[in-house]
C-alpha cells in the first residue's frame, strides 16, 4: 500500500487538501474529492506528474443540487485514481480533457447528452448516444427524469 500512500501524501501536500478528501479504499483504488475550481490543476498534475496515463472512464452523477463527475484515471501498474468534482446543476460547466485523452470525447458527449453537462472546448460534432431528434432539455440520467416526460411531450405534440 506504500505507493497508494505516497500518492495520497503527494496530493494532500501539493494542493493542501485535508486527508479525508483523499481516501484509499483498497489496494490500487484511491478516491479523491476535489473542488471544481482546482480541477484543471489537479488533473494536469495527476496525468503529467503522477503518471496516471490511462483514462478508464468518466462517470456522471446526479447528486441533487449538484452534478458530480468522476474521472477514473489509471497508472500502468493498475492503480486507479478517481477524481470526483461537483458542479452546481444550474450551470454545470466542465473543461474538456480531450487535450490529454482524445478518447474522452465519447465520455464527455455522454455527459452532455445524458446529464446535461456543458463541456467547454468540446466541438459540436455528432450527438452520442442519443438520437438527433431527441428533445432538448431532457436528460435521462438525471434523477428527476422519468420516461413519462418523453411520452407526455409526444402526446401534446400529436394532440
Q: Which of 17, 74, 25, 67 is nearest to 42 (CA)?
A: 17
Query: Where does this chain touch another protein (CB under 8 A) — which range of 14-22, 37-45, 49-57, 86-94?
Result: 49-57
* 3 state SS of 140: coil
In degrees and rounded to multiples of 5, residue 101 shows phi and psi of: -130, 105
- Establish if 76 lies at the interface with another protein (CB under 8 A): yes
Site string for another protein, 120-159 (x = CB under 8 A): ------xxxxxx-xx-----xx-x------xx--x--xx-
Instruction: Indicate the pairing of strand 80-88 with strand 66-74.
Output: antiparallel
CB of 80 to another protein, least distance (A): 6
Q: Considering the complex, state which of residue 93 and residue 106 has its C-beta at the smaller distance from another protein.
A: 106
33/105 Cα distance (integer angstroms): 23
CB of 78 to another protein, least distance (A): 3
* 3 state SS of 63: coil
Q: Which of 85, 21, 9 is nearest to 50 (CA)?
A: 9
- Establish if 99 lies at the interface with another protein (CB under 8 A): no
Which residue of 106, 118, 121, 149 would you call a contact of another protein, by CB under 8 A? Answer: 106
- Establish if 86 lies at the interface with another protein (CB under 8 A): no
Query: Quick one: how far is CA 124 from the chain centroid?
Result: 19
CB of 18 to another protein, least distance (A): 19
CB of 90 to another protein, least distance (A): 21
The secondary element (H helix, E strand) that includes residue 55 is: strand 54-62
Task: Tell me which residues in 24-43 interact with another protein (CB under 8 A).
Answer: 25-26, 28-29, 31
Q: Which of 146, 153, 142 is nearest to 61 (CA)?
A: 142
Under DSSP, the state recorded for 146 is -
List of residues contacting another protein (CB under 8 A): 25-26, 28-29, 31, 53-57, 59-62, 70, 72, 74, 76-78, 80, 82, 101-103, 105-107, 114, 126-131, 133-134, 140-141, 143, 150-151, 154, 157-158
Amino acid at each position: 500500500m506504500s505507493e497508494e500512500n505516497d500518492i495520497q501524501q503527494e496530493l494532500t501536500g501539493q494542493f493542501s487538501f485535508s486527508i479525508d478528501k483523499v481516501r484509499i479504499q483498497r489496494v490500487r483504488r484511491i478516491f479523491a474529492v476535489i473542488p471544481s475550481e482546482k480541477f484543471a490543476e489537479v488533473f494536469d498534475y495527476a496525468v503529467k506528474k503522477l503518471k496516471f496515463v490511462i483514462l478508464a472512464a468518466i462517470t456522471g452523477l446526479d447528486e441533487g443540487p449538484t452534478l458530480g463527475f468522476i474521472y477514473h484515471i489509471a497508472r500502468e501498474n493498475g492503480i486507479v485514481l478517481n477524481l470526483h468534482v461537483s458542479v452546481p446543476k444550474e450551470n454545470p460547466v466542465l473543461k474538456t480533457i480531450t487535450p490529454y485523452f482524445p478518447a474522452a470525447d465519447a465520455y464527455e458527449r455522454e455527459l452532455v447528452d445524458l446529464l446535461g453537462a456543458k463541456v467547454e472546448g468540446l466541438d459540436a460534432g455528432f450527438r452520442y448516444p442519443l438520437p438527433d431528434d431527441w428533445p432538448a432539455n431532457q436528460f435521462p440520467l438525471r434523477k428527476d427524469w422519468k420516461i413519462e416526460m418523453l411520452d407526455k411531450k409526444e402526446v401534446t405534440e400529436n394532440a
